[in-house]
């Protein structure tokens, strides 16, 4: 009997035992205005520009505000900004801040703070880097107005300032924002709806946020990072629980109120408990992926990459990950997030229909593959990559490939995948990962789709056709043009196999029923959330 | 004795230095890179390299090691790569829960295991003896996490007597502190109770065969006096040794227990630090653990002289 089986059985038994019971005694003493939340991962650092992990961004969204915020329709809306103007030639943007904005230390939010913050952000963010390359000047005009002058138009400006993928353009006081973007800040003052209780922070265990009384929310209804961020809670405690069974038991026992990412194995147990609500957490989900190294045989030959695509079954990957729950996955014959405006299946035939192993073997042989080892990196400590890696190993063997299966930890995969040396000398042929669906809605935040060779993400895909269409998207003037560009992009990226999408998958979130106001989104939003005793 | 203790403490310094060098070298050659973890999944190789430079990870081994030793000699364990907090602060935050867990577990172990072992030896061959030994085998065989989940299910989920997870500092009251530790201490203590009960029984059986015990019986001394005054005292040296080793082993056991019961102790900090390659934290913890091991050994030696005056240094 393994650990996972034991915890599943016991959590299941606990769920059955508790269903129908009222909140236990331990929960009764907790303040109704304190929400205890179990995040997806440990909040190990708290600089959202220096460290780009999703969990850092999620916590940072409580503490730091943004100039714009992307709403649930994926449109950037004004947040700290009251108004903006752009010149007819599209090169000069002037922004005016809302009056009355304050930082947690009582100081007003001024343009100089924004300029320093955007400067630091632009040094680390892919869109920021693009803006930086176009920048003529970024200056504070007066306390509430700042100006960004560019060498050429950048139509995606508002999206860049309001996007929700890491690093977000969070606004910090100038003294903090002047920190080298490659060094970590130690002062966590923001102007967001909650203050970070640094004194209570136990990294790896607990992080506490307290309501900022002077926060002035917008009057609009909240929608993701946009609109009025009304805090109905006085205190939010993030409690890190590395063991899913413990988190499940704590949720059932009323010791926590909201668990961001319950694992699929334990969801049936939670669903049986009448005190607990379970729903899809982020409708934008995730895009599974494995990447092949364009630098070395066999995958430097497009025929070998196409052979893998021709033989792979996304259903195998998804079943390995989510089991029998069909509501948790979709096939993804493309690269963009399903149910978003730019979603397309153009060129996706290769991933649809019956898998053709014989044709794939033939194509692989044509590529010149002659049995050399294929080094496949798999992080065993990440359930997603572990599941994907096992399926890939089986797939490659069926294709007649000689698999060098390197089962290791995420830290090692992360380090090794950066090696450009040949596979036999510390390099690799393929590795597995996944991308947040919110990063795959368009080419701007989508690092993994870029295919500019040496400058591209790990695997260093070189596909001039893909890059051409990325540029077309950036230059598109309306949604129709964007759609056309992305359709072409999807097709050429699949032809060149920039990477192999293993399917689209969702995950659940679970909370006690005395908590209300939880919305679906790419990150947990605490504004509008309340809790009764 | 005092000079002996001082000599022993002094002798720990080279041991810890060798451990430090070993650990530092091991981490240096181990695969994995904290800069990669920090940079995040979407980072470019250039971003990673910038972070490596800013952390000083691109410097040669000897310079990194020398710099670390220099800081240690000045009482500075360094700063966590990830949290930007001093390692000493992070260890300080986690020390309380781990020490509390170890203390309660140790107390529970001694209070339960030694009497059980004595009882088993006294009733050797009887049903009680066999039952105790069967319990010991059972306790020894069950992994900590299995015991932990079973206890949590029964006492937290079913009976709702105790919490599933967490830690409350002693400053907030003895009962709040204790209620978070009871289940983890039992889960962690099972193995040690089994181990010490078996050792106590075996040692006691040997001692009970000695001539002086026969003499004590012959002169009409009561069973309690024989067992606890004459036999147990003479059986104490190996028992103390095993308890001492148990303290050291508890550190390892605490890693799993702290995860199962979500206790923010040093065990979890160690695992987190290793997975993230947070070198300064790993080094600080290893130094601390080395010191604890050495200290425990020293304490065992001192206790020997108390329980057996024939032992002299």
- Report the alpha-carbon distance of residue B313 to residue B308 in Å, rounded: 12
Residues contacting residue A407 through CB under 8 Å, at least 6 positions apart = A378, A380, A389
Does the pLDDT at position A459 exceed 90? yes
Tokens of A506: 């969702």
Backbone angles phi, psi at A139, to 5 degrees: -140, 155
Residue B40, chain A, CB below 8 Å: the answer is yes
The pLDDT of residue B154 is 95
pLDDT in tens, A99-112: 999 999 999 999 99
Q: Is this prediction's ipTM beyond 0.85?
A: no
Which residues of chain B neighbour A457 with C-beta distances below 8 Å? Answer: 42, 44
Which among A25, A255, A448 is the nearest to B165, CB-wise? A255
- Best mutation site among B34, B36, B161, B266 for testing chain A: the one with the most A CBs within 10 Å? B36
Question: Within a 10 A sphere around the Cβ of B254, how many other Cβ atoms?
Answer: 25
The confidence band for B312, taking pLDDT boundaries of 50, 70 and 90, is low
Say what the pLDDT of residue A490 is.
98
- Choose from B165, B176, B266 for mutation: most chain A CBs within 10 A: B165
**pLDDT tops 80 at residue B45:** no
Residue A367: pLDDT band with limits 50, 70, 90: very high
Contact B259 A242 (CB under 8 A): yes
Residue contact B152–A416, C-beta within 8 A: no
Q: What is the mean pLDDT of chain B?
A: 86
Collapsed DSSP state (helix, strand, coil) of residue B124: coil
Tell me the per-residue pLDDT of A276-297, one tens digit each, with 9 for 90 and over: 999 999 999 999 999 999 999 9
Residue A3 has pLDDT above 50, yes or no: no
Q: Which residue, among A526, A506, A524, has the nearest Cα to A39 in the 3D structure?
A: A524
Peptide bond into A167 cis (omega under 30): yes
Token pair in block for residue B191:
């193995």
- The answer, yes or no, to whether the previous bond of B8 is cis (omega within 30 of 0) is no
User: With bands split at pLDDT 50, 70 and 90, how would you rate the model's confidence at A495?
Assistant: very high
**Residue A362 CA: distances (Å) to CA of A301, A371, A391:** 14, 14, 21
pLDDT: which is higher, B30 or A511: A511
Q: Shortest Cα distance from B47 to chain A (angstroms)?
A: 8
Query: Which residue out of A15, A16, A182, A420 would a mutagenesis test of the B interface target, given it has the greatest number of B Cβ atoms within 10 Å?
Result: A182
Report the C-alpha gap between A243 and A42 in whole angstroms: 12
% residues pLDDT > 70 (chain B): 97
pLDDT score recorded for residue A13: 44
pLDDT exceeds cutoff 90 at B295? no
Six token digits for residue A107? 């100081």
Q: Do B149 and A7 touch (CB under 8 A)?
A: yes
What's the full length of chain A, in residues? 533
The closest CB to that of B33, out of A14, A124, A415, belongs to A415
> Considering only CB atoms, which chain A residues are within 8 Å of B51?
182
CA A245 to chain centre: 24
For residue A435, give the H/E element and its range. strand A430-436
Distance from C-alpha of A194 to C-alpha of A208, rounded to nearest angstrom:
10
8 A C-beta contact, residue A285 and residue A504: yes
A335 φ/ψ angles, rounded to the nearest 5 degrees: -120, -10
Given an 8 Å threshold on Cβ–Cβ distance, is A418 in contact with B51? no
Paired tokens of B112: 């339960």
Q: Nearest Cβ partner of A447 from B42, B48, B156?
A: B42
Chain A hits for B276, CB-CB cut-off 8 Å, are: 44, 411
Report the C-alpha gap between B134 and A436 in whole angstroms: 52
Restricting to B residues 95-134, those with a Cβ less than 8 Å away from any Cβ of A are: none
pLDDT tens digits, A196-238: 999 999 988 999 999 999 999 999 999 999 999 999 999 999 9
Distance between CA atoms of A294 and A301, rounded to whole angstroms?
8
> Has residue A18 got a pLDDT over 60?
no
Structure tokens at A35: 């929400």
Of the pLDDT bands very low, low, confident and very high (cuts 50, 70, 90), residue A420 is confident
Instruction: Determine the straight-line distance between the first and last CA of chain A, rounded to whole angstroms.
Output: 40
Q: How far is CA A258 from the centre of its chain?
A: 20
Whether this prediction's pTM lies above 0.90 is answered by no
- Could you give the dihedral angle defined by the CA atoms of residues A369, A371, A377 and A382, in that order, rounded to the nearest 10 degrees? 100
């Amino acid at each position: 009997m393994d650990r996972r089986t034991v915890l599943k059985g016991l959590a299941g038994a606990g769920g059955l035992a508790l269903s129908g019971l009222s909140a236990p005694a331990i929960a009764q003493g907790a303040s109704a205005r304190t929400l205890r939340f179990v995040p997806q991962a440990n909040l190990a650092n708290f600089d959202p520009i220096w460290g780009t992990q999703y969990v850092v961004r999620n916590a940072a969204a409580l503490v730091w505000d943004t100039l714009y915020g992307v709403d649930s329709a994926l449109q950037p809306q004004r947040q700290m900004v009251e108004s903006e103007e752009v010149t007819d030639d599209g090169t000069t943007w002037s922004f005016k801040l809302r009056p009355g904005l304050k930082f947690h230390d009582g100081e007003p939010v001024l343009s100089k703070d924004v300029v320093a913050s955007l400067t630091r952000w632009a040094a680390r963010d892919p869109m920021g880097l693009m803006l930086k390359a176009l920048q003529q000047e970024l200056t504070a005009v007066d306390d509430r107005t700042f100006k960004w002058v560019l060498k050429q138009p950048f139509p995606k400006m508002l999206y860049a300032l309001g996007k929700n993928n890491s690093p977000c353009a969070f606004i910090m006081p100038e003294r903090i924002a002047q920190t080298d973007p490659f060094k970590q800040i130690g002062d966590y003052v923001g102007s967001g709806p909650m203050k970070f209780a640094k004194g209570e922070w136990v990294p790896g265990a607990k992080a506490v946020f307290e309501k900022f009384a002077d926060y002035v929310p917008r009057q609009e209804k909240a929608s993701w990072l946009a609109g009025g961020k009304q805090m109905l809670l006085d205190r939010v405690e993030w409690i890190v629980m590395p063991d899913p069974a413990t988190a499940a038991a704590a949720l059932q026992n009323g010791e926590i109120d909201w668990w961001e990412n319950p694992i699929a194995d334990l969801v049936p147990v939670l669903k049986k408990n009448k005190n607990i609500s379970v729903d899809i957490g982020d409708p934008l989900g995730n895009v599974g992926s494995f990447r092949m190294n364009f630098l070395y045989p066999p995958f430097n030959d497009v025929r070998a990459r196409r052979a893998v695509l021709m033989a792979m079954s996304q259903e195998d990957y998804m079943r390995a990950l989510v089991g029998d729950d069909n509501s948790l996955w979709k096939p993804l014959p493309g690269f963009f997030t399903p149910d978003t405006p730019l979603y397309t299946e153009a060129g996706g035939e290769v991933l649809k229909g019956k898998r053709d192993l014989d044709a794939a073997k033939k194509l692989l042989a044509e590529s010149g593959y002659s049995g050399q080892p294929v080094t496949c990196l798999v992080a065993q400590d990440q359930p997603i990559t572990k599941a994907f890696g096992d399926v890939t190993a089986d797939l490659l063997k069926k294709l007649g490939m000689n698999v060098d299966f390197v089962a290791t930890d995420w830290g090692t995969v992360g380090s090794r995948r950066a090696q450009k040396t040949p596979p036999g000398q510390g390099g690799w042929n393929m590795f597995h990962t996944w991308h947040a669906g919110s990063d795959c809605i368009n080419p701007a935040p989508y690092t993994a789709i870029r295919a500019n060779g040496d400058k591209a993400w790990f695997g260093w895909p070189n596909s001039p056709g893909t890059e051409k269409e990325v540029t077309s998207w950036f230059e598109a003037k309306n949604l129709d043009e964007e759609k056309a560009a992305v359709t072409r992009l999807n097709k050429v990226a699949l032809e060149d196999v920039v990477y192999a999408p293993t399917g689209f998958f969702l995950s659940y979130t679970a909370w006690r029923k005395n908590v209300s106001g939880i919305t679906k989104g790419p990150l947990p939003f605490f504004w509008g959330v309340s809790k009764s005793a | 004795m005092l000079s002996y203790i001082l000599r022993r403490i002094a002798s720990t310094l080279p041991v810890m230095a060798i451990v430090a060098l070993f650990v530092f070298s091991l981490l240096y050659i181990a695969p994995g890179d904290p800069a990669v973890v920090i940079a995040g999944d979407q980072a470019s190789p250039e971003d990673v390299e910038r972070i490596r430079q800013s952390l000083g990870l691109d410097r040669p081994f000897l310079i990194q090691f020398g710099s670390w030793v220099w800081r240690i000699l000045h009482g500075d364990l360094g700063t966590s790569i990830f949290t930007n907090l001093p390692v000493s602060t992070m260890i300080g935050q986690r020390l309380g829960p781990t020490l509390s867990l170890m203390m309660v577990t140790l107390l529970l172990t001694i209070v339960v295991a030694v009497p059980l072992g004595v009882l088993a030896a006294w009733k050797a061959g009887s049903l009680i003896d066999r039952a105790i030994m069967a319990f010991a085998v059972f306790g020894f065989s069950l992994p900590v996490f299995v015991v932990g989940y079973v206890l949590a299910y029964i006492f937290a989920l079913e009976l709702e007597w105790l919490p599933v997870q967490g830690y409350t500092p002693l400053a907030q009251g003895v009962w709040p502190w204790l209620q978070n530790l009871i289940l983890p201490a039992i889960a962690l203590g099972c193995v040690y109770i089994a181990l010490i009960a078996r050792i106590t029984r075996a040692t006691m059986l040997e001692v009970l065969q000695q001539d002086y015990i026969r003499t004590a019986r012959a002169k009409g001394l009561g069973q309690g006096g024989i067992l606890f005054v004459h036999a147990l005292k003479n059986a104490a040296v190996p028992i103390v040794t095993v308890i001492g080793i148990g303290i050291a082993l508890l550190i390892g056991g605490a890693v799993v227990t702290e995860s199962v019961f979500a206790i923010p102790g040093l065990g979890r900090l160690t695992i987190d630090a290793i997975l993230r390659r947070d070198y300064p934290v790993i080094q600080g913890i290893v130094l601390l653990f080395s010191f604890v091991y050495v200290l425990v050994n020293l304490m065992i030696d001192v206790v020997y002289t108390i329980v057996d005056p024939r032992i002299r240094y």
